[in-house]
A and B are shown apart, each in its own frame.
Chain A
Amino acid sequence: MMARALSGTWLALVFGFMIAPLVVVAGASFGRGGRTAMIDFPPHELTWQWYLAIPGDQVQALALSISLALACALAAALLGVPAALGIVRGDLPGRRAIAALFRLPLQIPAVVVGVSFLQLYYIVGDVIELPLVGSFWGLALAHLFIALPYVVGSVVAILNRFNMRLEEAALVLGAGRWSTFRRVTLPVIMPGVFAGAVYAFMVSFSDLPVALFLAGQGFVTFPVAIFQSLDYDFSPSMLALSTLIIVFSFVVMVVVQRSIGLTNLLHTGGAG
C-alpha cells in the first residue's frame, strides 16, 4: 500500500514536471489574449477563436513535416533493425565500437549537419543528376542520418536483454527463418523498434536547424514556420496548433500501441 502511494506521488511529480509548460501553452490557447500582449495565462476569458485562426500555410507546413517524419521513421526502422541485429548477434570483434559509430551522428551539431549536407549535395550534384538540394528527399536523407541512431540504439538495448533460445526453439520446431523472425524475434524487439521509430519521427518532426538549410523553394517544415513567425508575427493560433499536436500525437500513440499490441506482447518477451 505504501509502495503504491509512493509510486503514485512519484508519477505525479514527474508528469507534473513534464506537462507543466504544456498546460500553460494549452491554457493560453483558449485565452482571448486581449488584455495581455503575448500569452494569456491563466486565460481571462475562454475562446475558440485561435483554433479557427490557424493559418493555412502553417497547416500545410505541418502536413509536410508529418510526411517527412513518417518517411524518416520508416526508413530508420527498416535500416536500424537489421543494423542492431547485426551488431548484437553478429558477434564481430569491435562491435561496441561499431555501435558507437552508429551513435556518432547524434553529437554533430545540427548546424554542421545542415551546412555539410548542403555542401555534400552540391558536390554530388556535380557528378550525378540527383535533385537533392532543396528537395523533400534531400531533407529526408539528412533527417534519416540523425534519426537512425535512435532506432539502432533502442533495438540494441532490447536485444541485449533477449537470448536466442526462443528462436532456436522455434527453428527446432520447424518454423522457417522468416517466420521465426516475424513470429518470435520481431514481437520481442517491437518495443525497441517502436521507441526508436517514434523518436526517429520526433527528430525529423522537431528539427529546426537542418531544415533551415535544406528546405527549398516554397516548402517549409513546421518548426521553421513556427520559429520564423515567433520572431515577429506571433499569434496565439500557434499555441492552438501546438495543443492540437499534443492531443493528436497522444491519440496516435495510444492507437499504435494497441495495434502493434505493445502492451500484451511484452509479457511473453524474452523470458531469459
Chain B
Amino acid sequence: MTARWHLLMWPPLLLSLALLVGSQSIFLRGSFFADLRVGRLGSELTLQNYWRVASDGFYLSALWLTVRLSALVVVFTFVLGYPTAYILARMRSVWAPLLLALLVATSFVTIVIKVLGLVILFSPGGLLNVSLLWLGLTDQPVSLRGTEFGVVVGLMYFTIGFFVLLLYGVVRTIPRSLEQAAQLLGAPRWRVFWRVVVPLSLPGIITSALVVFNLCMGAFTSAALIGAGRILTLPVLIQRTVMLDARYAMGATLAAVLLLCGLAINLISILAVGRLKAARRVVA
C-alpha cells in the first residue's frame, strides 16, 4: 500500500516541472549567449556572462545581500512567529481563531499600500519617532526606507502570517497531554516547551522556514519599495537588467545564479537537518 502513494505525486510534479522547465529553459538559455540588447542574443555559445557575474564584486555582493536578508527574515519570522503560533494554539479562548484570522487578514493588503502606512508611522514628527527620541533610544529619527532592516520588516509583513497559520496547525497536532505529563514529572514550563514542543514541531518549522527563505530570495516588490533604491538585492538588479536595459542574456545569467544558489542552499540545509536528526537518534 505504501508503495503506491508516490503515484499521487506524479501529475502535479510533471505539471510543475513542465512549467518550470518550459518557461525557465526558454529564458535561461539566453544566459549562454552574448547579449545584443533589446532581448536579442548572439549566435555562439559562450560563458562570458557567467564570467562577468563571477568576477564582479557588484553582483556578488548583491547575491550575498540577498542570501543574508533572506536568512534574517527566516530567523526573525521564527523568533516572532513561533511563540505566537504556540500561544494561539494553546489558548483556550474564542479569541484565538479571531486573532489568527486577523493576523492572516493583514497579509491581504498589498505591500504597495502598507508602505504608505509605514512612511507615516516612521515620519520624523510621528508618535513613534518622538517617543523613541524622548526615551533616548535614538538620537536621529528612525526610518525604514532605504535600510536593510526595513526590507526585512517589509518581507516579514508577508511571511509571519503564513508561518503562524501553518505552525498553529502543527502545534495543535501535538497533544497537550504530552506537555502536561512532562510538567507533572517536574520539568519547568520553558523546558517542556524547548525539549518537547519544539522538537516535535521541527519538521513543520523546517519546511515552512525553507518556504519563507525561498520566497525571500525571489522577492522584488518589498525590496524595491522599502529598499527605496538603496538596497540592491539580486531580484532588484534582475528587474533593472531585464526591464530598464532590456539585456535579457545578462538578466537570465543573474536569474540562473540566483536559482542555483537557492537550490544549493536548500539541499545543503536538508542534508544538515538529516545529519542533525541522525545524530539525535544516536544520542537517544
A contacts, CB < 8 Å to B = 3, 7, 10-11, 14-15, 17-25, 28, 38-39, 41, 79-80, 82-83, 85-87, 89-92, 96-113, 115-117, 119-120, 123-124, 141, 145, 148-150, 152-154, 156-158, 160-162, 188, 191-192, 194-196, 198-199, 202, 205-206, 208-209, 223, 226-227, 230, 238-239, 242, 245-246, 249-250, 253-254, 257-258, 262-263, 266-267, 269-272
A192 to B171 Cα, complex, angstroms = 12
A79 to B13 Cα, complex, angstroms = 9
B contacts, CB < 8 Å to A = 2, 5-13, 15-17, 19-20, 22-24, 26-28, 80, 83-84, 87-88, 91, 96-114, 116-121, 157-158, 160-162, 165-166, 168-170, 172-175, 189, 200-201, 203-204, 207-208, 210-211, 214-215, 217-221, 234-235, 238-239, 242-243, 248, 251-252, 255, 258-259, 262-263, 266-267, 270, 274
* Residue numbers in A under 8 Å from B217 (CB-CB): 106-107
- 15 A-B interface contacts by CB (under 8 A): A21-B114, A22-B109, A41-B120, A80-B12, A86-B5, A101-B17, A109-B235, A111-B239, A149-B211, A150-B211, A199-B162, A202-B107, A226-B110, A267-B172, A270-B173
Please judge, given known A-B contacts A15-B103, A25-B117, whether A82 and B9 are in contact too, CB under 8 Å: yes
Total contacts A to B, CB within 8 angstroms?
A: 315
* Residue numbers in B under 8 Å from A161 (CB-CB): 170, 173-174, 200-201, 203-204
Min CB gap B193→A, angstroms: 10
Query: Once the chains bind, are A246 and B109 in contact (CB under 8 Å)?
Result: yes
A109 to B216 Cα, complex, angstroms = 9
Query: Once the chains bind, are A111 and B114 in contact (CB under 8 Å)?
Result: no
A265 to B161 Cα, complex, angstroms = 21
Q: Is the interface of B mostly helix, strand, loop or mixed?
A: helix
Query: Once the chains bind, are A119 and B27 in contact (CB under 8 Å)?
Result: yes
